[in-house]
A and B are shown apart, each in its own frame.
Chain A
Amino acid sequence: MNPTPDISHENNIEFLATPPKNRTRLKGDEDPKQRSESDTPGGKQVDNEAGKRAGETPGSLPRGRGQMPKYVSTTNACKLCKPLGACLAFRGIEGTVPYLHGSQGCATYMRRYIISHFNEPIDIASSSLGEKNAIYGGGANLKQGLKNVSDKYHPQLVGIATTCLTETIGDDLKMIIFEYKKEVPTDQPLPTLITVSTPSYAGTHMEGFHAAILSVLSSLCEKTPAHDRINILPGFLSPADLRLLKEIMTAFALPATILPDISDTLDGPALDEYQMIPAGGTPLAEIRKMGGARATIEFGSTLDQKSGGKYLEQTFEVANHRLTMPIGIKATDRFFELLENLSGENTPARYLGARGRLIDGLVDGHKYVFGKRAVLYGEEDLVVALAGFLAEIGVQPVLCASGGKSGKFQATVAAVTDGLCEDAPETYEDCDFHEIAERAEALAPDLIIGHSKGYQLARKLAIPLIRVGFPIHDRIGGQRILHIGYEGAQQLFDQIANAMIQVKQDRSPVGYSYM
């Protein structure tokens, strides 16, 4: 099967059919053979009004109409640090303990951050480096830490991510691990050890997440006889999303290996025994065989060439299908089309039903949302997908913002909203909440869509915040937010429409209980 890298084929055609005046922004293409970043048509077409941050990604697309200010300091970051993403990815692998090679603080802070969203324990081990180690190297602590983790947790795998400190002092993890393996007595447990380099001064939590996945694949996958399974690299989805994903694959009778799978490990049941490592996660045995799969489905519009899917394609010739996260109708349709192709079956009746109900619901509520202006922010791939969904329901994403800087953000946002929005959304990449807030105030939005950290802004503007993504720190149930599929779109739509209805109701001088 041929890879189908083009994520928005139709938009390309639409682009060609669009009058030139609207042709300022374009999709970011996923296929390097066809088009590199710098020769993306829109890339050279720098509008004068749009600003670029000094010294960055030459050839990146111009920003939206509002010129993004350039501050030296970061105020209220819209990104997290790289090892946190790696820990989340490792947490979705069966029998795995995430491990940070660094000082104690980093691990504890990340645990606290993750716990506050999932309300689940997450044990992240640390080398707990002290002053001596920072000077003489952290090798001894790493080895001791690995021994302790192996002794107590009996993991199948320890996923070791570096931190800023150990990257800066230049600890050679590969070497230390090599030595450690030799030193472990044969009667002692030796879990699989996988390392990933995650200095936060180069990349956000999402880069860390994907780097960890790539590292797992490149360490574990072996040449395997071809088999029937499908690989899914979903990126950072919620446990609820992953549960739906599994259900869908089961309904299509397509056995799937989903990597990572945090659906049980970060959303487990109440227990009477503390599980050192929570049950669930992608089984190692399955990961080892991912090189023999029929195809890989990888979600994410701004991923680069070093993705897990690309790796499997290049190394094991597993066809890679890169899709926008299946949020909203169009993106979900694409996903289901692909599953139809892969399975040779029609979409199961229950999903057609869900799709039909969704459209019926959109009709019921269209007036309440039409023309509303939304500010959205978060991880690039999530924001791109959400922008596409909003555009198709008639909400104007006026500002799409992210702390990430893939260089593809603007083009992909433009692609998914093309033809659906009067004006292409403004995009801010590599931005913080100070910048988002400044621009948001000028844009007079009706609602904000993103994680909890936009709450202050929503409060200031006195408009609703629709909570999606990570982290949800000011509500319970962040792990149960469903974003994907027709069901996810339905839930998001109901929330958005009801939020708009409530605004009107609350602002009414008389109030009413009947619309």
Chain B
Amino acid sequence: MTTRIYQERQGQIHRKGKKPFALECDKESLAGAVSQRACVFCGSRVVLYPIADAVHLVHGPIGCAVYTWDIRGALSSGPELHRLSFSTDLQEKDVIFGGEKKLHAALIELIDRYQPKAAFVYSTCIVGIIGDDLEAVCKTVAAETGIPVLPVQSEGFKGNKRAGYEAACNAMFRLVGTGDISNISRHSINILGDFNLAGEIWLIREYFNRMGVEVVANITGDGRVDDIKRCHGAALNVVQCSGATMTLANLIKEKYGTPVIRVSYFGIEDMAESLYAVANHFKDPEMLAKAKEIVRQELEILLPTLKKYRAALTGKKAAIYVGGAFKAFSLVKAFRHLGMQVVMVGSQTGTKEDYQELQEITDEGTIIVDDSNPLELSSFLQEKEVDIFVGGVKERPIAYKLGIAFCDHNHERKEMLAGFTGMMNFAKEVYGSVMSPVWKLVPRKQPQSTQLRASVPACIAGL
């Protein structure tokens, strides 16, 4: 097993136990190690993606744009520009002579065609090399069209996804402060770091509305340019998925003094805590009472159902590998509710503090890993005899190939996993995969003696 771990990566893997906790992270991915990470551009793209009334133009060769076409489950209640994939599709001559002209023309064309509220322009790796002046082109087009045109400095090689989050926040921050903030209530918030996958933000907004809290801007799930422009008028920034949007919250705090709280909407405690934290912030007992009432009502529905799942799932083992570590905290707790134990947990871009926290909330023996790869992940899954793996598209075939259940918990998913309803869905998802009879058929569970014997190895049977 250990042969599957690169010498250079030993420090990025920790087994909770005797040794004092130390985990290296925030490193460039090891060349040749098939990291599950994407790039800076990917980070920017995922954060800004759900802003549905803006044109998102990827300045670069075609791949970067085409691989991000309509890939997220981020829903919009209105316009759906975010689901289109726009590219300048740079060609050889653009690479040689520069792509600014093409970028300018493409922007004008798209803005004419779609009349968006704003345009985001993403730079990709080669744009960083050929040296197009994005800033200048955006400025010109903004002047010509009268809408904000925002460069996103997301050259893929300039760090990892987290650098992309920052670039996205910097771009969004240019919008903040340009909208009218009259008529915003005293009890108002911005929701940051929820991307409205499968409609989650609508659920969360509904909870807040029931508490009497006004939501000014969704950042960025079901997001709108005009809301972001006036989000500095909200009394509080409520940040989930801190990696992705914390930079924006900090920028707003610096300039406008808006306080920030960190929350998570995944899992029972975290969801309830989020509502209480907002109520406590406003020091409004009535609001707190409403929050408690919401939690009571929701749990009344949720808990009896969970019981059934818990009975079936108790004692099963789970592994988690996600993009940002924040999600992993909530997942560890959510699995506890189902009577399950997390035996491996990792993330693409966690920070020292993130991993420290994971170390604190996990059990002895749990493997904690940063920026992992298929070889390591598969060996961990086998070693720990995992029953279900939680991750994204790239993790799924690893689990399935080995005959292990899987739960999608990424940006592509179509199931709502946030809020109390989300906890129910999560339990159903886990149950629906773990309890399938298909696992009785996979080689992992078949004694050799019961397997059919092939006369010719399968791979050469054709000839």
Contacts and interface: CB of A to CB of B under 8 A. Distances in A.
Contact of B458 (A76, A125, A145, A264): A264
Given A80-B66, A103-B125, A105-B156, 5 more contacts: A82-B63, A125-B32, A202-B91, A256-B463, A270-B441
Interface stretch (B224-232, B262-270, B374-382): B374-382
B254 interface: no
A145 B31 contact: yes
Interface string A243-273: 1001101100001100000011000111111
Nearest to B93: A201
Contacts of B41: 105
A246 B65 CA distance: 36
A420 interface: no
Given A73-B57, A274-B402, A108 B87 contact: no
B337 interface: no
User: Which of A79, A148, A249, A279 has the largest count of B CB atoms less than 10 A from its CB?
Assistant: A148
A110 to B, nearest CB: 7
Contacts of A76: 69, 84-85
Contacts of A243: 462
30 contacts: A72-B105, A72-B106, A73-B110, A74-B65, A77-B62, A77-B87, A80-B63, A80-B66, A81-B63, A81-B67, A104-B37, A105-B41, A105-B64, A105-B125, A108-B42, A108-B394, A109-B64, A119-B400, A126-B29, A126-B34, A131-B158, A148-B8, A148-B33, A152-B375, A164-B124, A165-B129, A264-B458, A270-B401, A272-B402, A272-B403
A106 B63 contact: yes
B35 A247 contact: no
Given A74-B86, A74-B87, A123-B374, A80 B62 contact: yes
B365 interface: no
A133 B155 CA distance: 13
Contacts of A134: 125, 128-129, 155, 157
Given A125-B33, A126-B35, A145-B32, A77 B92 contact: no
Contact of B129 (A147, A168, A271): A168
B306 interface: no
B17 interface: no
Contacts of B30: 128, 144, 148
A115 B393 contact: yes
A104 B39 contact: yes
B410 to A, nearest CB: 10
B87 A73 contact: yes
B401 A112 contact: no
B21 interface: no
Contacts of A270: 400-401, 403, 441-443
A204 B64 CA distance: 13
B109 interface: yes
A165 B89 CA distance: 14
Contacts of A141: 31
A71 interface: yes
Contact of A106 (B28, B36, B91, B156): B156
A111 interface: yes
A120 B110 contact: no
A135 to B, nearest CB: 9
Interface in A257-303: 263-264, 268-274, 276, 279-280
A274 B397 CA distance: 10
Interface of A: 71-77, 79-84, 99, 102-113, 115-116, 119-131, 133-134, 141-142, 144-149, 151-152, 163-165, 168-169, 199-202, 204, 243, 246-247, 249-250, 255-256, 263-264, 268-274, 276, 279-280, 453, 456
A201 B155 CA distance: 16
B4 interface: yes
B126 A255 contact: no
B60 interface: yes
Contact of A274 (B91, B125, B160, B398): B398
Nearest to B443: A272
A113 B42 CA distance: 14
A472 to B, nearest CB: 14
User: Which of A82, A103, A145, A280 has the largest count of B CB atoms less than 10 A from its CB?
Assistant: A103
A164 B35 contact: no
A388 B452 CA distance: 43
A105 B40 CA distance: 8
B399 to A, nearest CB: 10
Nearest to A455: B70
B31 A126 contact: yes
Contacts of A123: 34, 373-375
Contact of A115 (B87, B126, B394, B402): B394
Contact of B92 (A149, A202, A256, A279): A202
B177 interface: no
B123 interface: no
Nearest to A111: B394
B142 interface: no
A119 B397 contact: yes
Interface in B85-144: 85-92, 94-95, 102, 105-107, 109-110, 124-126, 128-130
A247 B88 contact: no
B157 A165 contact: yes
B125 A165 contact: yes
Contacts of B83: 456
Contacts of A165: 125-126, 129, 156-157
A394 B109 CA distance: 39
A280 B460 CA distance: 7
B159 interface: yes
A30 to B, nearest CB: 26
Contact of A246 (B157, B444, B463): B463
A215 to B, nearest CB: 20
Nearest to A130: B28
Contacts of B85: 75-77
Given A127-B31, A133-B157, A164-B125, A72 B102 contact: yes
Contacts of A268: 401
Interface string B18-59: 000000000011111111111111100000000000000100
B136 to A, nearest CB: 18
Contact of A142 (B6, B31, B396): B31
B375 to A, nearest CB: 6
Contacts of B84: 75-76
Contacts of A204: 62
B425 to A, nearest CB: 21
A249 B462 CA distance: 9
Contacts of A113: 67
A148 B33 CA distance: 7
Contacts of B398: 121, 274
B459 interface: yes
A264 to B, nearest CB: 5
Nearest to A55: B93
A123 B378 CA distance: 12
A127 B83 CA distance: 31
A195 to B, nearest CB: 15
Contact of A103 (B6, B92, B157): B157
Contact of B69 (A77, A106, A264): A77
B95 A168 contact: yes
A276 B31 CA distance: 17
Contact of A250 (B3, B94, B462): B462
Contacts of A111: 394
A115 B399 CA distance: 13
A493 B91 CA distance: 39
B61 interface: yes
Nearest to A149: B32
Interface in B377-393: 378-379, 382, 393
A82 B90 CA distance: 13
A274 B378 contact: yes
B66 A112 contact: no
Closest 10 pairs (CB-CB, A-B): A105-B39, A81-B63, A148-B32, A145-B32, A246-B462, A145-B31, A274-B378, A73-B106, A109-B67, A74-B89
A131 B394 contact: no
